[in-house]
Structure 1
Amino acid sequence: MPLTTAEKRATFRKLHGSGCFVIPNPWDIGSAQALQHMGFKALASTSAGFAWSIGKADNRVTLDEVCAHLTALCSATDLPVNADFESGFAQEPEQVGANVARAVRTGIAGLSIEDSTGDKDKPLYERALGIERIKAARAAIDADTSGVLLVGRCEGFLVGQADLAMVIDRLQAYAEAGADCLYAPGIRTKEQISAVVKAVDPKPVNLLLGWPGLSVAEAAELGVRRISVGGSLARAAWGGFMRAAQEIAEKGTFTELGNGYAGGELNKMFG
């Protein structure tokens, strides 16, 4: 029988207790079901991958679109789903909390809140406001005892503020504000990763790996609890699509189509 939402959430929390697991990022129902078929234990949505799938740029989707997408993903798989909830689709803590409460009702097992503003001149929320936003998300999750896991993200390395001390300070503050898991996308070196892990211990750390580099085993040795790939799987899929389509458009040949995954195997997997 399909797992209940409560069972998915309990399973998700248990995964964060020890070891290191990969939480790949599907962008639609088919990719989510394929990842479940491959044996992954949990999934995470990708704001970029989903946006591209509906013909939008990243960070240009609406709250309504994201909640409908999360509902579809959660309904399509027995795996727990962690939501890439961007910056909460609001600035003020009160509205962030209201939006988080809505996201919780989609059936997600986890949810991340970023501290990026989308303003290139002032890319991060002020520290105090960032903390209040995490507190509001925590309160919204706790209001219905949902058990959804809250991830606090500091986007410093992604917005050109690669100050490790600042990022660690914020992650520690977000942990104190109620985040269950901490995330600093963009850190890459073993020294950076190890410093973040130690700084927020015993709370788990999510590591973004969207490029060749560390293996799962190496990340685990550094104390990383979970690994996500962001929009990288979606980019890989788009890479194959664009190469094949451009060859047809520009050369009138069809060589790249020979590299596609076997249709019969796809039918078998989804059958």
Structure 2
Amino acid sequence: MHGSAQTFRSLHQQPTVLRLPNAWDAGSARLFESLGATAIATTSAGVAWSQGYADGRVFPVELAVNVAASVARVITVPLSVDIENGYSDDPLTVADNVRRMLDIGAVGINIEDGADVPELLARKIEAIKNMAARNGLEVFINARTDVYLASLVAEEHRLEETLKRGQLYRQAGADGLFVAALVDVEQISAVVAGIDLPINLLARQGLPAADALAQLGVRRLSAGSSITQTLWDHARQLAQDFLAEGRSEAVTETSLAYPQIQALFVR
């Protein structure tokens, strides 16, 4: 049985920050759960790369549902799925796509505005909430704004624009606000004070540690694609050395033992 939406919601109301080392497939999700992750969230970039696609709204929704289902199969903690922009510009289609995620066991989603007008994301959030209400379902909607991440407005206007969008998304029914790439302590405090939602930040160079973020009122910290990117770099280096030198040591010296990995999937 997977963790419920109520359980996931309660994880955003603790004195400590909910830490999410975002997974990119069923194996990484199960590994992170075994290490004590109280919920699993996916990274759309990591998922896309693992399936041979570029990140950025080109991932087939059918494949996204299949990957999410494979993750849900191996974990018992709550699952939140990063669905980029919902895989459509049509709010009703987005709501249908979210329904498919809920049907396989997800209890939360990340959905982003990106370069779209913020009113579009607000309409998508409303459509998702209406779908859930009609079907007696619950879903935690974490609305991601890319004001900082994608430099959507001039630097001096980013805080003001984030607060404006945060209010819009909250009124539409969002359950959390994800301000990706925000690291400035004063601006973090302003967002926490200005938006009556759990605030989610993205692991980033220069961002205070989770305990300090908790003191600022932040409720959720996501690794995003950073663990995936770090492992890609490590795999690149291992394969490069192995191809160049042909030495077994290049790929065996620091590996996790086979029985340790195998034990994660033996129930």
Alignment TM-score > 0.5, same fold? yes
CA distance in 2, matches of 1:50, 1:38: 20
The Cα of 1:254 is off from its aligned counterpart by 5.0
Match of 2:25 in 1: 28
1:179 — aligned with what?
Answer: 174
1:16 corresponds to 2:12: yes
Sequence identity, in percent? 31
Q: CA deviation at 1:100?
A: 1.9
Provide the secondary structure at the position in 2 that maps to 1:58: coil
Q: Is the 8 A contact 2:80 2:107 kept in 1?
A: yes
Cα offsets for 1:103-135 (capped at 9, x unmatched): 22121110121112xxxxxxx222332321221
TM alignment of 1:89-168, pairs within 5 A: 89-116=87-114, 124-161=115-152, 162=155, 163-168=158-163
Runs (5+) with no aligned partner, structure 2: none
Is 1:67 the counterpart of 2:74? The answer is no
The residue aligned with 1:190 is 185
Secondary structure class of the residue paired with 1:113 = strand
Secondary structure of 1:69's partner?
helix
State the TM-score, normalizing by the size of structure 1. Answer: 0.89
Aligned equivalents of 2:216 and 2:10: distance in 1?
Answer: 20
Rounded Cα–Cα distance in structure 1 between residues aligned with 2:164 and 2:69: 34
Residue 195 of structure 2 corresponds to: 200
Match of 2:39 among 38, 42, 52: 42
| Residue equivalent to 1:121 | none
Give, in whole Å, the separation in 2 of the partners of 1:253 and 1:158.
Answer: 41
Q: Distance in 2 between matches of 1:239 and 1:136?
A: 39
Instruction: Measure the CA separation in 1 of the matches of 2:230 and 2:18.
Output: 21
Question: What RMSD in Å do the two structures reach over aligned CA positions?
Answer: 1.8
Contact 2:122 2:172 in 1 (8 A): yes
Question: Which whole-Å CA distance do the structure 1 matches of 2:80 and 2:87 have between them?
Answer: 16
TM-score (norm 2): 0.90
> Which residue is 2:83 aligned to?
85
Secondary structure, counterpart of 2:4 in structure 1? helix
Matches for 1:249-260 after TM superposition, within 5 Å? 249-257=243-251, 258-260=253-255
1:247 match: secondary structure? helix
How far has the Cα of 1:73 moved from its partner?
0.9
Matches of 2:127 and 2:107, distance apart in 1: 18
| 1:127 to 1:48, Cα distance in 2 relative to 1, 3 A | closer
AA partner of residue 50 (structure 1)? V
CA distance in 2 between counterparts of 1:213 and 1:155 reads: 17
Separation (CA, whole Å) in 2 of partners of 1:210 and 1:146: 34
- Aligned pair in 2 of structure 1 residues 235, 192: CA closer, same or farther (>3 Å)? same
Among candidates 213, 224, 231, match of residue 230 of structure 1: 224
Q: CA deviation at 1:173?
A: 0.7
Q: Which residue of 2 aligns with 1:120?
A: none
User: Residue 216 of structure 1: CA displacement?
Assistant: 1.3
Q: Note if contact 1:244-1:254 (Cα within 8 Å) is conserved in structure 2.
A: no
Unaligned stretches of 5+ residues in structure 1: 117-123
191-200 or 248-257, which deviates more: 248-257
